Amino acid sequence: MTTADTLSRVAGEHMLTAESAETQTRRLGLSGYLACFNGIVWREILRYLHQRERFLSALVRPLIWLFIFAAGFRQTLGVSIIPPYESYVLYEEFITPGLIAMILLFNAMQSSLSMVYDRETGAMRTLLVSPFPRSFLLLSKLLGGVSVALLQVYAFLLVAWFWEIQPPPITEIKLFTMYDAPPFLPPILGSVTDPIVTPLFAVPSFMQSFAGYLTVIPALILAGLMLGSMALFMSSVIKQLENFAGVMNFVIFPMFFASSALYPLWRIREASPLLYEICRLNPFSYAVELIRFGLHGQVDTVSLLIVVTFTTLFLAAAIFAYNPSKGLIARRGGPGGAA
């Protein structure tokens, strides 16, 4: 039988034959999606737990900032009472949310770089031949990365706990809204310069002492997802990001320093109004603030809105980049740029 025969035989019939084979098609139901999601997340965690050096370096980095940098700066930099803090806080306490966000950022960049590397070695290709929708696979992969980041964050918070940096007791979960519109935005967006605090619900008394560790979880997941999808998108577009030194210089350092991670924004404003506006344009600032308020049992609505918006945008862009027909993989000439 020649190939031509087979081709003509299949030509007019593939629709019909596809239907007749339909009965053998396994439906990818909800349990299948769940199994797939669990499998991807579990693999990320297993791989992480087997890399002890990675675990240690991820823990040591923020601890150096906390124990050395913050200890040195606590005398030179006083932090006044700004929301969500209700009293003067030590500098260590102020930068803890920033350091948590730094863990998320490092982790996001690392795991997205490993996805680029994976794409070359083929592990990414094994992921992408799964019959599940590609957007679901990428989202699962990102959430796997976020799970690993959460492990690192809680390891850091545990050490910080011994250093007596602990979230305050929380009696009530609140919505916090304060919006100081940048001057270049149209006046219609208005600005709320006095905070509006809306109580949501009370925290049971037995949970109050450690509630901050729980209320921060949604903030961590959201911030992790935003940074992860940003990193995934960037790594699929920008070839130069394939080495980590470039990522440090051009992504991590600028994002981390031009944000509210290390200093309150009003202090930056005193130093440089321009830098202040840059910090306010930096999505990382809002990730930091979301986490800061989350540790205090509060939802910062403006940060929430901005982080959700950026997450959606970055995620859509990353999924677009991996779309087989429109995407950038094909344009780049396949895995590793090799034809």
Q: Which residues bind another protein (CB under 8 A)?
A: 1-3, 6-7, 10-14, 16-21, 24-26, 28-29, 31-36, 38-40, 42-43, 46-47, 50-51, 120-123, 125-133, 137, 324-325, 327, 329-330, 333-335, 338-339
Distance, in Å, from the CA atom of 304 to the CA atom of 225, rounded to the nearest integer, reads 13
Q: Closest approach of Cβ 335 to another protein, in Å?
A: 7
Q: Closest approach of Cβ 49 to another protein, in Å?
A: 9
**34, amino acid identity:** L
Distance, in Å, from the CA atom of 305 to the CA atom of 32, rounded to the nearest integer, reads 32
Tell me whether residue 43 or residue 74 sits nearer to another protein (CB atom).
43
The length of the chain in residues reads: 339
Tell me whether residue 43 or residue 269 sits nearer to another protein (CB atom).
43
Angle ∠(105,107,111) on CA atoms, nearest 5: 120
Tell which residue, 223, 244, 265, has the closest CA to residue 109: 244
Distance, in Å, from the CA atom of 319 to the CA atom of 137, rounded to the nearest integer, reads 10
Task: Write the DSSP assignment of 270-306 as a string of letters.
Answer: HH-HHHHHHHHH-HHHHHHHHHHHHHTTEEEHHHHHH
Q: Closest approach of Cβ 224 to another protein, in Å?
A: 21
Q: Closest approach of Cβ 321 to another protein, in Å?
A: 11
Q: Closest approach of Cβ 48 to another protein, in Å?
A: 10
Angle ∠(271,274,276) on CA atoms, nearest 5: 65
Tell me whether residue 122 or residue 190 sits nearer to another protein (CB atom).
122
Distance, in Å, from the CA atom of 179 to the CA atom of 175, rounded to the nearest integer, reads 13
Tell me whether residue 39 or residue 246 sits nearer to another protein (CB atom).
39
Q: Closest approach of Cβ 227 to another protein, in Å?
A: 24
Tell me whether residue 264 or residue 335 sits nearer to another protein (CB atom).
335
Tell me whether residue 11 or residue 81 sits nearer to another protein (CB atom).
11
**327, amino acid identity:** G
